[in-house]
Amino acid sequence: MLFRNKTITSVLSLSLVATLALAGCSSKNDKNGNEASKPADNGQASEKASEKPAKDVTISYTIWDKNQQPAMEAIAKEFTAQNPNIKVKVEVIPWGDYWTKMSAAAPAGTLPDVFWMHGGQFIKYATGGFLEPITDKVQSGIIDLNNYAANLGSIYTLDGQNYGIPKDFDTIGLAYNKELFDQAGVPYPDDTWDYNKLAEVAKKLSQPDKGIYGFAAKMDTQTGYWNDMLANGGHILSDDQTKSGYDEPASIEALKFRYQMTLDKSSPTHQQMTDTDSTDMFKSGKLAMIFEGSWRNGDIDSSEIIHGKWNWAPLPKGKVKRGNIINGLGNVMSAKGKNKDESSLFLQFLGSKRASEITAEMGAAIPAFNGTQDAWVKSKPDLNLQIFIDQVADAFPYPSGTKAYPVWFAKEPEIMSQAWGGAISVEDAAKKVADMMNQAIADNK
Amino acid sequence: MTSHTLSSKRTNLVIHAVLIAISAVMIIPFLWMILTSVKTPMEATQIPVKFFPSILKWNSYSEAFKQSSFQYYYFNTAFSAFMKTLFPIIFSSMAAYAFARIQFPGRSICFFLIISVMMVPNPVFYTPQYMMMNKLGLVNTVTALWIASLISPFATFLLRQFFLGISKELEEAAILDGCNPFQIFWHIMLPLVKSALVAIVIIQLLWSWNELQWPLIINSSPEKLTLSAGLATLVSKFGTNYPVLMAGAIMAVIPMIFLFFIFQRRFIEGVAFSAHKG
Amino acid sequence: MNEGVMAMNTKSRYAWAYVMIAPTLIGTLLFWSWPAVYSIYLGFLKSENFGLVNHWVGTQNYEKLFKDQEFWRNLRNTLFYMVLFVPLTLVCSTVLAVLLNAKIRGRSTYRVIYFLPQVTMPAAAAMVWVVLFAQDYGLVNYALGTHVSWLSDPRFAMYSLVIVGVWAAIGFNMLLILAGLQGIPRTLYEAAEIDGAVGFNKFRYITLPLLTPTLFFTTIVLMIGATQVFDSIYMLIGKTNVALPAVRSLVYAYYQNAFVYYDQNYGAAIVNILLLVNLVLTGVQFLFQKKWVVYD
């Protein structure tokens, strides 16, 4: 009896070792799988779809913005209502971890079935063969990229292949706290404002001893100094995307202008904004003005403290023009998903007018589908959301679209934070960023 | 009353004062965690510091639970901690016994191969292990959390020390009775090192429960994360909403603290025990 | 020992031995030894497309590393952390262990309290330290009446990390040392008392020498742990903290390069250097142990 016991244990351990050893063999299969999923084999998936009997599957849909989760779940629900055999699981990986995780999942073949794509990351994933092309659907007219605003469809096109369906677009606005303006008897921001006016009013509205500040001169790119740099006539990247624009005098001037506000006490310090997120400060009524993206609208308005007491205005004008960044997110699907037919159906639904309408009605983001933007503008009638649509005309496309972007974008904040934290001068930081970007561009030709 | 007892009483008082002061430093972070978790975000960042919230606000807990996948974090953490404790115990004690008692050819080289990896800092393994998991198709799976830790060179080393310290007489009798080495190990030797096994269980459990970097690297989907990595995600999700972050932190540490309070003597003796032979 | 009996079934005993060590040996070779060797190989490669394409580039990664001032700073940070953390933990743990070794009331309660940080996961503990260390509303500044930015001022951040590290490590190491203390025979103290030794002298001439083997072991474990500091930097300092360059350890730099900047080879080069540092440190420890460790 005792004998049997220990035999079992040793057999168990041996078989476990055997399993581990055998598991090593599967690496070869993986390579084949990898070959098979190169972009070349497009088209077959959708044909098969009609022949196969419907089986129950669950596909994963991964996004990075938890504020949009309810809207995405509502879309998924409606999709499942139409396709009862396909369930969609919406997962949120926060932006801070999203690309680290995706770059891990890509070579492993474990990308989510369908997921949000960002213009800056797209090329890396498309050239690697990790995304399923949708070119045949575009050509056959199942998907019409002309349906989407501002030529957004072109973002997710590489070498004549289409990979993504535009989901939404976003621009930047100036959010302001009406109550703090009223208390100081200062008129609200409007489209006549320029940067000097912004700085002047920010100074006037600041009461550092009470922890109240006029403006959040935060160290941020898309909702921060990129807008300033563009407005001042500077660049983020040269037009042919081969050289950094951070070290142009106009860019440096804009950066300095912003940083100066943290020194003038018209803005919280970088430290304060690290300890408390600046948008959270705005939400708790401690900030009079902040640049934010249209995607944060619902989140800001959910604050009980400032609900009904705030609004949006266009960004101030700079020396040269009004700066703004437009970016469009896309939905893409993995080339290695297990349920590509079903994923493809869902992807198509995400690009439908109905999905855009749900996005708009729930106020999640400005939907990409033409004619649905109005519903978004009206989703919060007391807020002037029209400014986001109007600023599309001034807006500059998000400076992604090169293989080097993910590299320099990951390194940029660390250098700039040295300047915002006061360890090095803004000028030195800008030059360092420029060198780093130029190096990244050279390395990723 | 002699002056001797008086001075020793005073010494005692000083000692207690020191010990209590340090106790406070040890405990305050926990108290602050709890207090912050029931404040509003405003109260948590109020100037000057507000010690007690005006009303107890419990919804940070439900918020943290809803916005992340705590039920998965708990399961994944507990399951991988279980695997990373049970298997190393079995495998290491077997190997340790063989190394301690059987003069088989190649013994030194095998032992050296095993303990040499103890000298290597963990991060050295991560990239290659990551690539290996990748080839096995295990990236972003619960299996990846524990598969590489089914063995423990440290436990093997420690247990070998214990086996070396046990007298050989018991075994000799068993050999005469015709027992094979595994039977001797299982029936005679293993019960003798019970306290060492407990020590290793505790150390393995603590280590795997708390591990951050590997889960962070290998897994991404919320339902594949451990508590540690899940907390890191919570930070990037909630930024500086401290009540929610603290609620998440409390939910993550409660199970281990609970276990600790139940088995505190075992924990403390276990750790102390491992020192004897280390 | 009866050699005859032992020799009886030598062959079957050997067979059993191989079976018994097999899981551990195979597991170690497969999951630990091979990766360690592979990491060294990776340091000589340049990978593209998420690591699916690799080229041999010789020592290029190391050349880049040695030219990178950041790397030298990270190495210095790692060693500086160790130099602060290890002695401080040792001293605090030893003092507490000695105090608790006396017959005082509430010993077990103190032990439980001091061990509490050890059962708290570092990620969770770090989160509360962020709140405690906050400049404006943090309890630390409130209690000290200061207005220091503990985690974002490059002058202080390293010390804050060390404080958190020591806070977490004291309990465990105190127990190890306490166990060592309790292994010292009472009779030695009694003999010393007869010779007129009191208080500190007893500690200096009896306790400390007999404690050296435990201290030696503890030091090595602490040193190896200190060179791998990551969790607290990841959770307490963060990516856009101005103090990051002042505290960034080699392991943090490895994580950034390998998993955030997508350069696994540069990352591998960094940890390979860390391996070298560890081997040198441990080697030095063993060389010098004769000078101060007393074995009876």
Task: Kindly report, residue by residue over A302-348, the tens digit of the pLDDT.
Answer: 888 899 999 999 999 999 889 999 888 999 999 988 888 889 899 98
B166 and B188 in a single domain? The answer is yes
Summarize the confidence of residues B97-122 as an average pLDDT.
92
* Interface list for B 101-140 with A (CB within 8 A): 130, 133-137, 139-140
B131 and B197 in a single domain? The answer is yes
On the question of pLDDT at A27 being above 50, the answer is no
B140 and B109 in a single domain? The answer is yes
% of chain C exceeding 90 in pLDDT: 53
On the question of pLDDT at A37 being above 70, the answer is no
Nearest to C75 by CA among C251, C283, C264: C251
B interface test, pick of C82, C128, C144 with most B CB neighbours within 10 Å? C128
**Please, what is the average pLDDT of chain B?**
87
The domain segmentation of chain A, as residue ranges, is: 45-170+327-377, 172-323+402-443
3 state DSSP class of C40:
helix
B126 and B162 in a single domain? The answer is yes
pLDDT value, residue A54:
66
User: Start-end ranges of CATH 1.10.3720.10 in chain C?
Assistant: 65-292
Domain that holds residue B239: 68-277
**Please, what is the average pLDDT of chain C?**
88
Residue C27: list chain A partners with CB under 8 A.
17, 20
B94 and B48 in a single domain? The answer is no
Summarize the confidence of residues C226-248 as an average pLDDT.
90
Cα distances from A231 to residues A427, A428, B10, in angstroms, run 18, 21, 73
Least confident of B262-271, C28-37, C75-84: B262-271
d(C-alpha C271, C-alpha A277), whole Å: 33
CB contact under 8 A, B186 and A3: no
B25: confidence class by pLDDT, cuts 50, 70, 90? very high
B97: confidence class by pLDDT, cuts 50, 70, 90? very high
pLDDT value, residue A38:
36
B39 and B83 in a single domain? The answer is no
Summarize the confidence of residues C270-288 as an average pLDDT.
91
* Interface list for C 104-123 with B (CB within 8 A): 104-106, 108, 110-123
| A149-181 residue pLDDT tens | 767 777 888 877 889 898 988 999 999 999 999
| B128-138 residue pLDDT tens | 998 888 888 78
* CATH code of domain A172-323+402-443: 3.40.190.10
CB contact under 8 A, A418 and C262: no
On the question of pLDDT at C203 being above 60, the answer is yes
> Which residues on neighbouring strands pair with residue A61, listed in sequence order?
A90, A114
On the question of pLDDT at A50 being above 80, the answer is no
B74 and B172 in a single domain? The answer is yes
Residue A3: list chain B partners with CB under 8 A.
183
B128 and B259 in a single domain? The answer is yes
On the question of pLDDT at B55 being above 90, the answer is no
pLDDT value, residue A211:
86
On the question of pLDDT at A24 being above 70, the answer is no
d(C-alpha B42, C-alpha A303), whole Å: 11
Burial group, residue B47, by CB count within 10 angstroms (0-12, 13-18, 19+): exposed
Q: Which of B40, B61, B82 is the last residue of a domain?
A: B61
Summarize the confidence of residues A215-233 as an average pLDDT.
94
Q: Which of C19, C134, C240 sits opposite A413 (nearest CB)?
A: C240
On the question of pLDDT at B139 being above 90, the answer is no
Q: Which of C22, C27, C244 sits opposite A414 (nearest CB)?
A: C244
| C138-180 residue pLDDT tens | 999 999 999 888 998 889 999 999 999 999 999 889 988 988 8
pLDDT value, residue A197:
94
Q: Which of B33, B61, B89 is the last residue of a domain?
A: B61
d(C-alpha C140, C-alpha B243), whole Å: 18
> Which residues on neighbouring strands pair with residue A213, listed in sequence order?
A287
A1: confidence class by pLDDT, cuts 50, 70, 90? very low
What's the structural domain count of chain B?
2
Residue A16: list chain B partners with CB under 8 A.
87, 150
B24: confidence class by pLDDT, cuts 50, 70, 90? very high
Least confident of A62-71, A222-231, B45-54: B45-54
C interface test, pick of B4, B8, B18, B26 with most C CB neighbours within 10 Å? B26
C13 in reach of chain B (CB within 8 A): yes
CB contact under 8 A, B139 and A20: no
% of chain A exceeding 70 in pLDDT: 88
B33 and B165 in a single domain? The answer is no
Residue C213: list chain B partners with CB under 8 A.
none
CB contact under 8 A, C100 and B180: no
Summarize the confidence of residues A12-20 as an average pLDDT.
39
Q: In terms of pTM, does the model score above 0.80? A: yes
| C73-123 residue pLDDT tens | 999 999 999 999 999 999 999 999 988 888 788 888 898 899 999 889 999
C interface test, pick of A6, A121, A275 with most C CB neighbours within 10 Å? A275
B162 and B272 in a single domain? The answer is yes
Give me the CATH topology for the region A45-170+327-377: D-Maltodextrin-Binding Protein; domain 2 (3.40.190)
Summarize the confidence of residues B243-264 as an average pLDDT.
92
Q: What is the CATH number of the domain that holds B94?
A: 1.10.3720.10
B217 and B244 in a single domain? The answer is yes
> Which residues on neighbouring strands pair with residue A334, listed in sequence order?
A131
| A51-80 residue pLDDT tens | 455 678 999 999 998 888 989 999 999 999
Burial C66-101 (b: 16+ CB within 10 A, else e): eeeeebeebbebbbebbebbbebbbebbbebbbbbb
Summarize the confidence of residues C253-263 as an average pLDDT.
88
B211 and B227 in a single domain? The answer is yes
B68: confidence class by pLDDT, cuts 50, 70, 90? confident
* Domain C65-292: top CATH class: mainly alpha
Neighbours of B82 (CB within 10 A): 14
Q: What is the least distance, in Å, from the CA of A62 to any CA of chain B? A: 9
